[in-house]
Amino acid sequence: MTSPSSSSDTPPADPCLMLLFGASGDLTKRLLTPALLNLVCDGLLPDEFAIMGMAMDDMDDASFRAKLENEIRTYSTRTHFEPERWEWLKQRIHYMPGNFGKKEDFTALLARCNELDVKFQLKGNLLVYLAISPTLINLVTSQLDDAGFKERQGWLRIIVEKPFGTDLQSARMLSQQLLTRWREKQIYRIDHYLGKETVQNLISFRFANGIFEPLWNKNHIDHIQFSVLETVGAEGRGGYYDKSGVVRDMIQNHMFQMLAYLCMEPPASFDPDAVRNEKGKLVQALRVVRFDEVPEYGVHAQYAPGKKADGSNAIAYRSEPQVDPQSRTETYAAMKLHIDNWRWEGVPIYLRSGKALWKRGTEIVVQFKKAPQVIFRNTPSARLIDNNQLIFHIQPDQAVEFRVQAKKPGPNLVLQKVDMRFDYSEAFEAGRATGYEVLLYSAMLGDTTLFSRSDFVEASWQVVQPFLDYWKAAPASEMPTYPAGSWGPSEAYDMLERDGRRWHEVVNRDVLARVPDLAGAPSTFLHSLALMLEPNAVGPGDTIIHKGDMGTEMFYICRGEVEILDGKNQPVARLGEGSSFGEVGLLLDMPRTATVRAIGNCDLFILRRESFRRALKDYPELHTILLERANKRAGLS
């Protein structure tokens, strides 16, 4: 069977039987079945294809098909559901209940697989998918070997879901157990992040565009940031998450994969081994910090009570169901890494990921070094030149953005940051996918490019192990916290500030439109302002402004509250979300008239003097609004 959407350069996969363990679980209904249906609709599965599911649930072929049929319309990613395509797939779905510990069940399973092989002419090819707990992997693969699955004609490939171990020791043990019975080229360690188009495009972007590769080194790049931010908390997954944490769940696998693609050396070809060799070398070049160096190179925290992104109340992580009230599991982590090779020597790589944050988004920011400013020394732009940034938006937006300096219209040489953006939704017509389609298709073809090898897995665990060990040894009472719905712990911002850098927060016009001062501002102004603002997070009791200092910036409060103190350090007023402060010193060119201190954790946008003045020229109405407030605060009205 081929569909009209298939093409000669994308042929259907090889004939095979997909043997799915854990077939009745969430992964099957939410991701694998919709992904297989997408492959059917795109003409990428051959007529010689079938599925054999096994789990503990007492079902037969008919009841298992009925279960999946009830679920597919909920979880399908197709814009328009195609019943005839689903019917084709459904008739190839089979099931038998089984106990993974019983040899006789695997003997019966082998007989069923052989029957399906004859019926659908599958040539003995078998794709085993282990959608099961890591603790069962060795048991199931051993049972397959002992039952005689190796003796079948055709190829046999085993897809192993993450996590690949829970630490360095368990990862090594799992690899040893698998490699005792199976060859490395038969093992496909799957990471669904590598199925995302924008992640795959990292390698194409680098090596297919000659403009960037000459700049991709320590001579031109200042630093790189990887951010994976989630608005959801544990929310029903406390039992799993409290044994995992963000380092195991996100950083050690997903984020290291993106890091490898972005920073590895050019492979000799796109042969799978050539690509995986370079990925392995990159991760092995990551510096392993000492136990006592962890406080300098890493931050961990848990979310405390706060407000969710939708404004509803959020409970603390330790109050979530099935979470230990004294849990030391991190829901947020930030790390500073170094790649010890010639290309990246001295270029810090910053990673952060967390739950219950202010927005959902996965982004990579490549910040270039500043251009020489000497030729602009006698122009209004002498202090306005900023770093160029190349931003990869992975999700939910899928885009590549390049931020550069451009001359603003007018008689004077005034520079302004602008962005050039390529958006996937505008450039390509592609159906929404789960991310598993390309991975399943690649495995059926025997292409291991997008799958992890044991050397990559073990090297990545080696890098994060000191962080896990140090944080595990710290008392539960010393766990830093951050309010749910915030930008994260202030300690993560301090880590970058010590290096003279700051986290990049993608601010859009929708965020700024909620600021009272900016109500009614033109969209072009809001777009420009979004490129000017700098984020900062401060902790309870931190002084943001000192009375008497000359002002060089103003502040907008995105989350939290501040208090204004009089000459005797007594609170006289409070400001909350959406408010601004610090404009007095800028507008009236005078020292700060009061001290401003954070009451709790605060997320702030900073607008520097030069950008502030430029913003006022673009939106003069803002000058009137702020001047009235400045006069009032300075006691001049």
Active site residues: 254
Contact indicator for 358, 507 with CB cutoff of 8 Å: no
Query: What is the sign of the dihedral through the CA atoms of 618, 621, 625 and 627?
Result: positive
- Distance, in Å, from the CA atom of 44 to the CA atom of 438, rounded to the nearest integer, reads 10
Where do we find the tokens 């854990």?
A: 22
**Burial class of residue 519 (count of CB atoms within 10 Å of its CB; 0-12, 13-18, 19+):** exposed
**Token couple for 73:** 């319309």
- Distance, in Å, from the CA atom of 600 to the CA atom of 97, rounded to the nearest integer, reads 54
Distance of CA 621 to the CA centre of its chain: 39
| DSSP assignment string, 268-324 | SSS-HHHHHHHHHHHHHTB----GGGHHHHEEEEEEESEE-TTS-EE--GGGSTT--
Report the greatest alpha carbon distance in the chain.
91
The single-letter DSSP state of residue 373 is -
List, as own/partner pairs, every contact residues 494-502 make where C-beta atoms lie below 8 angstroms and the sequence separation is at least 24, other chains included: 495/299, 495/334, 495/336, 496/350, 499/223, 499/336, 499/348, 501/222, 501/223, 501/348, 501/350, 501/367, 502/534, 502/535, 502/536
Contact indicator for 159, 126 with CB cutoff of 8 Å: no
**Inter-CA distances, 521 with 576, 581, 622, Å:** 21, 19, 8
The single-letter DSSP state of residue 224 is E
**Inter-CA distances, 362 with 339, 359, 506, Å:** 22, 10, 10
Task: Find out whether the peptide bond into 321 is cis, omega within 30 degrees of 0.
Answer: no
- Distance, in Å, from the CA atom of 545 to the CA atom of 564, rounded to the nearest integer, reads 9
How many residues would you count in the chain?
637
List, as own/partner pairs, every contact residues 512-520 make where C-beta atoms lie below 8 angstroms and the sequence separation is at least 24, other chains included: 514/578, 515/556, 515/578, 515/580, 516/578, 516/579, 517/556, 517/580, 517/622, 517/625, 517/626, 518/622, 520/621
**Inter-CA distances, 197 with 38, 392, 395, Å:** 15, 12, 10
**Burial class of residue 631 (count of CB atoms within 10 Å of its CB; 0-12, 13-18, 19+):** middle
Contact indicator for 197, 437 with CB cutoff of 8 Å: no
**Nearest by Cα to 396 from 195, 228, 202, 191:** 228
Orientation angle between helical segments 454-473 and 168-181, nearest 10 degrees: 150
- Distance, in Å, from the CA atom of 605 to the CA atom of 308, rounded to the nearest integer, reads 19
The amino acid at residue 370 is: K
- Distance, in Å, from the CA atom of 287 to the CA atom of 265, rounded to the nearest integer, reads 17
- Distance, in Å, from the CA atom of 538 to the CA atom of 494, rounded to the nearest integer, reads 9
